[in-house]
Structure 1
Amino acid sequence: MSNIGVLLDMVARHAPDRVVVGRMADGLTARRLSTMADGGARLLAHEDARALIYLGTNGPAFTAALFAAARAGVPLVPLNYRLSKSQLSRLIAEHVGAIAIADPEFVDALGATCSHVYSQESWLQTIESYPGDEAPDASGDVAVVIYTSGSTSAPKGVLLRHSNLFSYVVGTVQFGAEDLGECSLVSVPPYHIAAVANAITNLYAGRRYLVLQRFDPEDWLETTRREQVTHAMVVPTMLARILEAADSSVPTLRSVAYGGAQMPLSLITTALKAWPHVDFSNAYGLTETSSTISVLGPQDHRLALDATEATVRARLGSVGRPLPGVEVIIRKADGELAGPNEPGRILVRGPQVSGEYAGAAALLDADGFFDTRDEGYLDDEGYLFVLGRRDDTIIRGAENLSPFEIEEVLLTHPSVRDVVVVGVPDVEWGQRIEAVVVPEPGESVEPELLRSFVRTELRSSKTPDRIHVWETLPRTEVGKLSRREIAAQLKAPGA
């Protein structure tokens, strides 16, 4: 079994004194992180812990917890601190015998389930000097349990095994490839797969990993300049706010990975022109696939931006091609494989794909493919285009409509800053199309003029029946639209 703790072993032997987590001035070296992971593993073994719950913001304590749990052979369970107390209590009850790391404001939600509860600070202090030298049994094969958002049902615990995460890392990152001074900045909560993926891939590459706990564009820019950040991960809404700053210069930044939500073509085009020295990559993946399965790389971005051929330029709206070792197919509604440019359900197969949930069998088909529940298609050259979740598809008069297609058109209007399109129940059509737009600062929009604008680009059956104007749209911390919440507001009386 390939335990992810081996990744830390390799780095600690290769570059023990390199700062790998946190600020350059006072961050954790590989040696110190390894010492903490060993101490944490001994603590977990001494407490006979069956899991390590993490309920708080991201930071060095999360990384230390990830590797301590790995070396103790128990799963790390990062929970969404934005859930209600009752929701958290239900999830925590599934992990009897766990100990926890929790920020003070979330301790009450733990109740009596956990035998010991540590703050982030007390966890780091305790494990750095925890006594003993015997290595615990690390034979447990589940590395992390991450709960899905529960947008359409109760949250489900996705089981990510060490073999899944190990395969993802060694298949996508070159060990120790980064020079001293490389630094990656992310602002992602610990209960998201991107937090786990970034912690292990940056470490394996030898790149310092820095977390901005709460995103603010000015703070992001100031941190990037002060810490001489070279790599960053953002979601589209973050990128938009960063580029709007009075001074958005980022002299040391060399690469930006984005994902988590659909990137408007107008925004990525603006970013490419504003930061010509930066390499952009679009990453697509899911919790169940151990993060990224497809990437649109820097060269793809440049070729698409400069292309005169429509099919090549359109690839700027794709998520690129599958990673080595990952197979992606498109299956039509009738079960047959789709041809090039034919839409259908996206299925994926590979050693990094879990497709497993706590208390349930793995949701893989007879050939080992996992159904992502995303709709999309592959073009003639194998570039993957994601059209959105199957659950988000609008069925109007027996016609399946992609909300993303309509959103892309609305976002090309110069007065529209943000937009969402959803289906709302309708007696005559089954569902009607409703859009919510957020105007650009200082701009006003006229709904009927926007409807005419869409009609000139798309046929009338894809034109929103109603367009609402809001000041902002509800999004998650990783930039995803809360479509269910928006649809519920539009269905409410008087909406």
Structure 2
Amino acid sequence: MVTDVIDVIAEFAISRKAIWDVLVEPQSYPRLFRGIGACEQRDAADRNPTLTLRVGGAGIEIRTLLVQVRIGREYENLELHCPDSGSFAAVRLREVGPNTRISVTYFKAALVHPLVAQLPNSAAAAWTQAGLKRVADLVTGAPTATIINGEDSPMKLQASVARQMVASGVVRTYRPDVGLKQLGSLAKWGFSLAGGYAAAAAHSPQRAAVIDDRYCTTFDQLHSRSNALAGAMTMLGFGNRASIGLLCRNHTGMVECMVAAGKAGTDAVLLNTGLPARQIEEIVQRHGLSALFVDSEFEDLVRYLPADLPRFSTGERPPEPGRTTIEDLIAMREIAAKKPARPGHLIVLTSGTSGTPKGARRPHPKGFGTVAALLSRIPFGVNETLMIPSPLFHTWGLAALQISTAIRATIVLNDRFDAEDCLRRIAEHRVTALIVVPVMVNRILDLPEHVRARYDLSSLKIVASCGAPLAGATVLQFLDTFGDILYNVYGSTEVSWASIADPADLRLSPTTAGRPPLGTKIAVLGQDRRILPVGATGRVFVGNHMLFDGYTDATPPEESNGMLDTGDIGYLDASGKLFLAGRDDEMIISGGENVFPRSVEEALSHLPQVSEVAVVGVPDREFGQRLAAFVVKRPGSGLDSEMIRNYIRHRVSRFSVPRDVTFLDALPRNATGKILKRTLGQAT
């Protein structure tokens, strides 16, 4: 076991000032030293700040440590004190010729964490030296900020995929005749929605495939109905190589249209239900759509489109007499083509939060690798009951639908999201997995405790969120309320998935975007497209087999060594977890300093009076740009602008303190729940 005093020495051919600048920066510790998951800084303006560190992880108890940073003689010595335990570390820097020698002495290290007491001095020394080596790498620019889950060798990766498929139960020994039917379906339609539902119908024809507000459809019924619908599409002239638009909420009809389009070789453009009529008109023209399938409630959005553009109602009651419905098309019982010359693609529109939505052509999954990737980080099992309130026209909702066919999950869909109704449906259908976007997580947490207590949620094992960052305070509140069932997925329309944080990751590092799934590579690159060191902030690039097939109407993002630029800024920590600082286009320069809004949003999210917050950059005559905060208060809170500024002033740099604080009843969001920061910026 460790002794009361431990001495560690490391020496590097680096200037003392460069090492000092890293060691006095509080955020260096969670980035460069394993087992430190998060660092919240108090009294940031103080020369000797106080930090709150989360330590533990990897099956080790997580503890919160209060640490005081006491700066001694500049460039020479500092101390890290834990006042609650009396433990501290003394750090001394000395110049030895061209080198810098770092001496670290620990006093009463065993009191910091129960695990430390069980370790030998050599383990504490090795941990310290490894962290200091990362400090040196950061200073010298060593190319270490890259990580891949899996092997670069295709054969080894395929072996990993096969193991994942067997371990999860997706692939197992079954009746040969059933297996042949499944393989035949995949051979005909490929690893697409069409192939997935056909294979599921061959394996479990009478199992419920989709449950919505109107009825329940089995896998066999959905396969047969989509066959008939594909036949009607082909007969009407918008089959192979044509494009149709779907303007629908989540329901069985939308699923049937997507599957049928794939069988007919038709591209289906998934229109965002939150778009204005003008943008829908632009998209229809840009993509040369041959037909529209529309929910009746959105009829006003397509009213002024050309009269010769065929429109079909996705509901049972058309908006006007004589309008053909998908039920009418299915009733025609046209025979679909045996196999289209080219499989139909699903085209997802980007969120458009920073401009006009672009059409991104989604690739068809390539074998079981797509399923294995998500299952390697989220433990979905076969025969799940999976509820998807996240819009199906959104990449995350669509991805969940695609994965559901491989695990033969029953999908529960609802037209609109209501937090309490969501809990009611979970209890009613014994939902095991919930697919959400962050605003839905917030709405569920906002429900009073006595309302949440009405519903039996014991069946729920997975809540997977994607689409925007989750605030650290929200993550911890959700885990404490519902248990360790939260998964945070980071991805985009262009790269599909990039990383996934499981409950263990989130417990230690609530703001992390997680680790790459199987077959995924992440690298953090500088402006020169060279790999940066671990802990350094740069552009996040992602590579996997589900990178999109390009925009239909825009120049694709930059590439580097087979990886796509996500447009996000972030860093990798010592344990291989990804953290995001924000979008590249969100960064502002205030008084010559690079400032990201997310650090301010994270700090404000910990205020109990704050329900939601968004921070944006706005023009400033003196500093070029400044931050403006938009805050939604919880009912009854007595928060004012000066309280916000005082709170932030002690936690971030002075350039990050928002001079403008505006209180709103709600933040503007698009149909997928993303905050429309562009709108907020224009409002100042």
TM-score between the two structures when normalised by the length of structure 2: 0.66
- The answer to whether the Cα contact below 8 Å between 2:346 and 2:362 also exists between their aligned partners in 1 is yes
| 8 Å contact kept, 2:372–2:518 | no
Structure showing greater radius of gyration is 2
Task: State the partner residue of 1:283.
Answer: 489
Q: In the aligned structure 2, how far is the partner of 1:375 from the partner of 1:165?
A: 31
Return the letter of the residue paired with 1:84.
P
Provide the C-alpha distance between the structure 2 equivalents of 1:139 and 1:355, rounded to a whole number of angstroms. Answer: 18
SS of the residue corresponding to residue 417 of structure 2 reads coil
Q: Quick one: which amino acid aligns to residue 567 of structure 2?
A: R
Q: Indicate conservation of the 8 Å contact 2:616/2:628, yes or no.
A: yes
Alpha-carbon deviation of 1:328?
Answer: 1.0
Tell me if structure 1 keeps the 8 A contact 2:397–2:435: no
Q: Secondary structure at the match of 1:321?
A: coil
State the 1:398 CA deviation.
2.5
**Residue 108, structure 1, aligned to residue 307, structure 2:** no
Q: CA deviation at 1:336?
A: 2.1
Can you list the C-alpha shifts for 1:428-474, whole angstroms capped at 9, x where unaligned? Answer: 21101111112221102121222121111122122112222222211
Equivalent residues of 1:203, 1:209 under 8 A apart: no
Displacement of 1:25 after TM fit?
9.4
Helix, strand or coil: the match of 2:362? strand
Secondary structure, aligned partner of 2:498: strand
Per-residue deviation, residues 270-314 of structure 1 (Å, max 9, x unmatched): 1111112x5211111111123x3211113333xx3xxxxxxxx2x
Higher relative contact order (CA 8 A, sep 6+): 2
Show CA shifts across 1:26-75 (max 9, x none).
41111111111211211121122112211121211111111111111111
Alpha carbons 1:345, 1:375 under 8 Å: kept: yes
Aligned residue identity for 2:463 = V
**Which secondary structure does the structure 2 equivalent of 1:434 belong to?**
strand
The alpha carbon displacement at 1:89 in A equals 1.0
8 Å CA contact retained: 1:89, 1:111 = no
Partner SS for 2:345: strand
Secondary structure of 1:100's aligned partner: strand
Q: Give the corresponding residue for 2:401.
A: 199
1:185 matched to 2:387? The reply is yes
- Answering whether residue 466 of structure 2 is matched by residue 259 of structure 1, we say yes
Is residue 178–residue 206 contact of structure 1 (8 Å, CA) maintained in 2? no
- Counterpart for residue 34 of structure 1: 223
Aligned to 2:505: 300
TM-score, normalised by the number of residues in structure 1: 0.89
CA spacing shift, 1:475–1:165, aligned 2, 3 Å: farther
Change (3 A) 1:335 1:23: closer
Alpha-carbon separation, structure 1, partners of 2:274 and 2:304: 11
User: Matches of 1:219 and 1:71 in 2, distance apart?
Assistant: 34
Q: CA deviation at 1:152?
A: 2.8
**Separation in structure 2 between the aligned mates of residue 166 and residue 44 of structure 1, nearest angstrom:** 29
DSSP-derived class of the 1:435 partner = strand
2:352 equivalent to 1:150: yes
1:210 aligns with 2:412: yes
Tell me the equivalent position of 1:417: 611
The residue number in structure 2 matching 1:493 is: none
* Greater Cα offset, 2-11 or 252-261: 2-11
Distance 1:82 1:97, change over 3 A: closer
1: distance between equivalents of 2:622 and 2:213? 62
Partner Cα distance (2:425, 2:644) in 1: 39
Cα distance in 1 between the residues matched to 2:537 and 2:308: 47
CA contact (8 A) 1:35 1:128 kept: no
Partner Cα separation in structure 2 for residue 141 and residue 362 of structure 1: 22
Query: Aligned-pair distance for 1:316?
Result: 2.1
Regions of 4+ moved over 6 Å? none
Gaps of 5+ in 2: 1-188, 317-323
- 2:195 is paired with a residue of what secondary structure? helix
Number of residue pairs matched by the alignment: 475
Does residue 463 of the first structure (1) align with residue 463 of the second (2)? Answer: no
Q: Does 1:269 align with 2:476?
A: yes
- Structure-1 residue corresponding to 2:68: none
Q: Distance in 1 between matches of 2:425 and 2:559?
A: 45
Matches of 1:131 and 1:201 in 2, distance apart? 29
**Deviation at residue 18 of structure 1 after TM alignment:** 0.4
CA contact (8 A) 1:433 1:463 kept: yes
Secondary structure (helix, strand or coil) at the match of 1:62 reads helix
Structure 1 alignment gaps of length 5 or more: 305-312, 491-495
- Bigger mean CA deviation after superposition, 15-24 or 112-121: 112-121
1:13 corresponds to which of 202, 208, 217: 202
Aligned counterpart in structure 1 of residue 529 of structure 2, from 322, 327, 335: 335
Change in CA separation of 1:165 and 1:63 when aligned onto 2, cut-off 3 Å: farther
Pair 1:403–1:362, CA change in 2 (3 A)? closer
Which residue pairs with 1:52 in the alignment?
244
Task: Write the distance in 1 (CA, Å) between the matches of 2:254 and 2:669.
Answer: 24
Q: Which residue of structure 1 lines up, in the alignment, with residue 451 of structure 2?
A: 247
Coordinate RMSD, CA, aligned:
2.4
Shift of 1:6: 1.7
